[in-house]
């Protein structure tokens, strides 16, 4: 599904805000290719992915969002404890639930999506070792959301259309960080 970006959040789509690729860039609609060899460049790229996910207070990111069509994704539902997957595959799913999702590539747009409640994902970690983990709820949704990116699928393709709304969370996040900073600066004075 393609969506219209409301004027109130168009500024979130300006070039140069950050390197995260935004809709309607066609790179987000491509199929990513398996990583054949984990090189130093792969490692640096993984660092970039983790950096930009954390920078946005995101819960995950995928390679095409930084413009590379490789099967690499970061899953970080706790924000700050990122799991790296190279060539990931979902090997088991259980149940269903619905949650509100957003996407760094579709900033300011939120909507309700139905996802598997629990998923087990298997892939290689950044050292090239086989890594398998089971996630529920938010973590499971992040796995499915990021894996969709590797197949050119966006959450707006799966969203309940009536649930979509616009929200400038960059302002809300800025406010949250400002409050946090204040907390720390007060404790400094003691
Ligand atoms: Zn996304």
The alpha carbon of 106 and the centre of ligand 1 are apart by a number of angstroms equal to 7
The alpha carbon of 138 and the centre of ligand 1 are apart by a number of angstroms equal to 13
Provide the number of structural domains found in the chain: 1
> Which one from 78, 146, 171, 175 is the annotated catalytic residue?
146
Consecutive H or E run containing 63: none
Inform me whether the pLDDT recorded for 188 exceeds 60.
Answer: no
Q: What domain range includes position 109?
A: 7-189
Answer yes or no: is 48 within a domain.
yes
Check if the beta carbon of residue 61 is closer than 8 Å to that of residue 22. Answer: no
Catalytic, 146? Answer: yes
Strand partners, 94: 118
Answer yes or no: is 103 within a domain.
yes
The alpha carbon of 49 and the centre of ligand 1 are apart by a number of angstroms equal to 12
pLDDT digits (tens, 9 = 90+) for 7-39: 888 989 988 888 999 999 999 999 999 999 999
**Domain CATH number, residue 47:** 3.90.45.10
pLDDT digits (tens, 9 = 90+) for 84-138: 999 999 999 999 999 999 999 999 999 999 999 999 999 999 999 999 999 999 9
Q: Is the pTM higher than 0.95? A: no
Closest to 144 (Cα-Cα) out of 66, 43, 20, 59: 59
The alpha carbon of 104 and the centre of ligand 1 are apart by a number of angstroms equal to 6
For the chain, the straight-line distance linking the first and the last C-alpha, in angstroms and rounded, comes to: 54
Consecutive H or E run containing 96: strand 83-101
pLDDT digits (tens, 9 = 90+) for 153-166: 999 999 999 999 99
The alpha carbon of 58 and the centre of ligand 1 are apart by a number of angstroms equal to 9
């Amino acid at each position: 599904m393609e969506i219209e970006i409301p004027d109130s959040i168009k500024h979130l789509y300006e070039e140069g805000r950050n390197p995260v690729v935004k809709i309607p860039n066609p790179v987000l609609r491509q199929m990513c290719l398996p990583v054949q060899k984990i090189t130093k460049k792969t490692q640096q790229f993984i660092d970039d992915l983790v950096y930009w996910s954390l920078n946005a207070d995101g819960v995950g990111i995928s390679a095409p969002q930084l413009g590379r069509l490789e099967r690499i994704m970061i899953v970080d539902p706790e924000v700050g404890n990122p799991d790296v997957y190279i060539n990931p595959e979902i090997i088991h799913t259980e149940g269903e639930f619905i949650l509100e999702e957003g996407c760094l590539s579709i900033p300011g747009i939120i909507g309700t999506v139905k996802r598997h409640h629990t998923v087990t994902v298997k892939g290689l970690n950044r050292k090239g070792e086989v890594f398998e983990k089971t996630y529920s709820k938010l973590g499971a949704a992040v796995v499915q959301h990021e894996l969709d990116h590797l197949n050119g699928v966006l959450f707006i393709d799966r969203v309940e259309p009536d649930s979509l709304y616009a929200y400038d969370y960059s302002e809300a996040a800025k406010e949250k960080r400002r409050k946090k900073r204040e907390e720390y600066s007060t404790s400094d004075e003691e």
